């Protein structure tokens, strides 16, 4: 989990998630992430683990507006439940999310990370 936290730190510091939240969620849940030297970071997370991590990091709930969602329509006080609900609604396993994950992978590569292919992909 420490590797994921470091990954999210780097992504957040460089603004890599701005406009790419769906791709970031897709990558964190369903793809392998490693450093450019091949050191493994993650082989995927459960929705609950990701929701917990976004809560712990105090990820800005306003970012879900880029997904066409209104933060006010989710549980405002329980941030883990908030993020879990968001993840469940954005269809992170869809072809659209996989395409967004591919775009995010190019951003992650510039930040020193390798992202594996989408599940079921090449």
Q: How confident is the model at residue 121 (pLDDT cuts 50, 70, 90)?
A: low
Over residues 3-23, the mean pLDDT reads: 91
Percent of the chain residues past pLDDT 90, beyond the cut: 81
Percent of the chain residues past pLDDT 70, beyond the cut: 98
pTM passes above 0.85? yes
Return phi, psi of residue 22, to 5°: -60, -45
Each residue's pLDDT tens digit, 76-87:
788 999 999 999
Helices and strands, counts by H and E, the chain:
5, 3
Q: Does 10 have pLDDT greater than 60?
A: yes
CB count within 10 Å of CB 95 equals 9
């Amino acid at each position: 989990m420490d590797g994921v936290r470091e990954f999210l730190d780097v992504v957040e510091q460089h603004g890599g998630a701005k406009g790419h939240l769906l791709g970031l969620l897709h990558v964190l849940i369903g793809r392998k992430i490693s450093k450019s030297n091949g050191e493994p970071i993650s082989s995927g997370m459960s929705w609950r683990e990701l929701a917990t991590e976004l809560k712990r990091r105090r990820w800005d709930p306003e970012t879900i507006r880029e997904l066409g969602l209104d933060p006010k329509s989710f549980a405002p006080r329980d941030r883990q439940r908030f993020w879990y609900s968001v993840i469940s609604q954005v269809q992170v396993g869809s072809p659209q999310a996989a395409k967004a994950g591919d775009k995010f992978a190019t951003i992650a590569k510039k930040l020193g990370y390798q992202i594996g292919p989408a599940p079921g992909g090449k």
